[in-house]
Structure 1
Amino acid sequence: MSPSRRRRTGSPGPASVPPAARRGRRGVVRQGPLRTHWLLLTALLFTLAAALLLQGYTQHLYDHRPDPAARPAGSATVPEQVRSGGPVIDAAGAEPRTAAPRPGTVALTFDDGPDPRWTAEVLDTLRRNGVHATFFVVGTEAAAHPDLVRRIVAEGHQLGVHTFTHADLGAQPPWRRSLELRETQLALAGAAGVTSSLLRPPYSSTADVLDDSGWAAVQQAGREGYLTVLTTHDSEDWRRPGVDEITDAATAGRGDEGRIVLLHDGGGNRWQTVAALDALLPRLKARGFRFTTVSESVGLPDPVRRATWTEHWQGLALIRVLQAGDWTLTVLGWLLYAAGAVSVLRAVIVPVAARRHKRLRRRRNAWGPPVTEPVSVIVPAYNESAGIEAAVRSLLASDHPVEIIVVDDGSTDGTADLVESLGLPYVRVIRQANAGKPAALNTGIAAARAELLVMVDGDTVFEPDAVRMLVQPFADPAVGAVSGNAKVVNRGGLLGRWQHIEYVVGFNLDRRLFDLAECMPTVPGAVGAFRRSAVLAVGGVGDETLAEDTDLTMALCRDGWRVVYEERAKAWTEAPASLSALWRQRYRWCYGTLQAMWKHRGALRQGGQAGKLGRRGLGYLLVFQVLLPLLAPVVDVFALYGLAFLDPVRIVGLWLAFLLVQLLMAVYAFRLDRERLGPLWSLPLQQFVYRQLMYLVVIQSVFTALAGSRLRWQRMQRYGSLRVPAGPAAADGPPEPVGAGVGGPEAPGGYRAQVHEAVRGPGQGT
Structure 2
Amino acid sequence: MRRGEPRGHWILLLLGGLALTVLLLLDGYAHGAVGEAPRKDPAHPVPAPSRVASGGPVVNLAGGTPHSLRMPAKTIALTFDDGPDPKWTPRILDVLRRHGAHGTFFAVGAHVAENPGLTRRILREGNEIGSHTYTHVDLATAPAWRARLELDLTQRALAGAAGVHTRLMRMPYSSVPDGLTAPEWRAAERAGKDGYVVVLTDRDTEDWQRPGTEKIVATALAADERGQGAVVMLHDAGGDRAQTVAAVEQIIDRLQPRGYRFTTLSQAMRMPAADIAVSGREKAIGWTLVAAQRTASALTGWLGALFGVAGALYVLRLVLLLVFAHVHVRRVRKPPARPASYPDLSVIVPAYNEEAGIAATVRSLLDTDYPGAFEVIVVDDGSSDRTAAIVEGLALPGVRLLRKPNGGKPSALNAGAAMARGEILVLVDGDTVFQRDTLRHLVGPLADPRVGAVSGNTKVANRGGLLGRWQHIEYVIGFNLDRRMFDVLQCMPTVPGAIGAFRRSVLARVGGVPADTLAEDTDLTMAICRSGHRVVYEEKAIAWTEAPSSLRQLWRQRYRWCYGTMQAMWKHRRSLVERGASGRFGRRCLTYLAVFQVVLPLFAPAVDLFALFGLVFLNPVGPILLWAGFVAAQTAAGAYALWLDGERVRPLWALPLQQFVYRQLMYLVVVQSVVTALLGSRLGWHTIRRTGTFSDVPPQPASAR
TM surpasses 0.5? yes
Are residues 1:279 and 2:250 paired? yes
* Counterpart residue number, 1:228: 198
Shift of 1:72: 10
- Partners of 2:295 and 2:531 in 1: how far apart? 49
* Counterpart residue number, 2:512: 540
- Give the one of 378, 386, 399 matched to 1:414: 386
Are residues 1:163 and 2:133 paired? yes
- Partners of 1:72 and 1:725 in 2: how far apart? 74
- Give the one of 608, 614, 622 matched to 1:642: 614
Going from structure 1 to structure 2, the CA distance change for 1:550 and 1:371 (only over 3 Å counts) comes to farther
Shift of 1:244: 2.7
* Counterpart residue number, 2:534: 562
- Partners of 1:339 and 1:194 in 2: how far apart? 43
- Partners of 1:640 and 1:483 in 2: how far apart? 39
| Amino acid aligned to 2:516 | E
- Partners of 1:513 and 1:370 in 2: how far apart? 30
Mark the runs of 5 or more structure 1 residues left unpaired by the alignment.
1-27, 734-766
Asked if 2 retains the 8 angstrom alpha-carbon contact of 1:375 and 1:454, the reply is yes
Shift of 1:287: 2.9
* Counterpart residue number, 2:304: 333
1:321-356 Cα shifts (integer Å, max 9, x gaps): 111111111111121111111111111111111111
Secondary structure of the equivalent of 2:82? Answer: strand
1:51-102 Cα shifts (integer Å, max 9, x gaps): 001001112438999999xx89965462111111111113465532222222
Are residues 1:661 and 2:633 paired? yes
* Counterpart residue number, 1:261: 232
Mark the runs of 5 or more structure 2 residues left unpaired by the alignment.
none
Going from structure 1 to structure 2, the CA distance change for 1:354 and 1:723 (only over 3 Å counts) comes to farther
Secondary structure of the equivalent of 1:279? Answer: helix
* Counterpart residue number, 1:606: 578
Secondary structure of the equivalent of 2:616? Answer: helix
| Larger displacement relative to structure 2 (410-419 or 258-267) | 258-267
- Give the one of 623, 630, 643 matched to 2:595: 623
Are residues 1:122 and 2:92 paired? yes
Secondary structure of the equivalent of 1:330? Answer: helix
Asked if 1 retains the 8 angstrom alpha-carbon contact of 2:452 and 2:528, the reply is yes
- Partners of 1:374 and 1:626 in 2: how far apart? 40
- Partners of 1:730 and 1:724 in 2: how far apart? 16
- Percent sequence identity over aligned pairs: 55
Equivalent residues in 2 for 1:35-434, closer than 5 Å: 35-61=7-33, 76=46, 78-91=48-61, 94-253=64-223, 254-363=225-334, 365-366=335-336, 369-400=339-370, 401-434=373-406
Give the TM-score of the pair, scaled to structure 2.
0.96
- Partners of 1:194 and 1:52 in 2: how far apart? 27
Shift of 1:277: 2.5
Are residues 1:700 and 2:678 paired? no
Asked if 1 retains the 8 angstrom alpha-carbon contact of 2:490 and 2:534, the reply is yes
Going from structure 1 to structure 2, the CA distance change for 1:238 and 1:731 (only over 3 Å counts) comes to closer
Shift of 1:204: 1.2
- Partners of 1:259 and 1:374 in 2: how far apart? 102
| Amino acid aligned to 2:100 | G
| Amino acid aligned to 2:471 | Q
Shift of 1:414: 2.2
| Larger displacement relative to structure 2 (666-675 or 647-656) | 647-656
- Partners of 2:495 and 2:38 in 1: how far apart? 63
Asked if 2 retains the 8 angstrom alpha-carbon contact of 1:378 and 1:456, the reply is yes
Going from structure 1 to structure 2, the CA distance change for 1:661 and 1:60 (only over 3 Å counts) comes to farther
Asked if 2 retains the 8 angstrom alpha-carbon contact of 1:378 and 1:407, the reply is yes
| Amino acid aligned to 2:308 | Y
- Partners of 1:311 and 1:218 in 2: how far apart? 25
Give the TM-score of the pair, scaled to structure 1.
0.88
Asked if 1 retains the 8 angstrom alpha-carbon contact of 2:47 and 2:180, the reply is no
- Partners of 1:525 and 1:553 in 2: how far apart? 11
| Larger displacement relative to structure 2 (539-548 or 83-92) | 83-92
- Partners of 1:435 and 1:302 in 2: how far apart? 82
Shift of 1:236: 2.7
**4+ residue stretches of structure 1 with deviation over 6 A?**
62-68, 71-74, 724-727
1:465-497 Cα shifts (integer Å, max 9, x gaps): 111111111111111111111111111111111
Aligned residue-pair number: 701
Are residues 1:29 and 2:2 paired? yes
1:482-528 Cα shifts (integer Å, max 9, x gaps): 11111111111111111111111111111111111111111000011
| Amino acid aligned to 2:315 | V
| Larger displacement relative to structure 2 (599-608 or 672-681) | 599-608
- Partners of 1:726 and 1:189 in 2: how far apart? 74
Shift of 1:455: 0.6
1:350-405 Cα shifts (integer Å, max 9, x gaps): 11111111111123x32662552221011111111111111111111122232111
- Partners of 1:73 and 1:383 in 2: how far apart? 78
| Amino acid aligned to 1:572 | W
Going from structure 1 to structure 2, the CA distance change for 1:154 and 1:64 (only over 3 Å counts) comes to farther
- Give the one of 448, 462, 478 matched to 2:434: 462
- Partners of 2:24 and 2:196 in 1: how far apart? 31
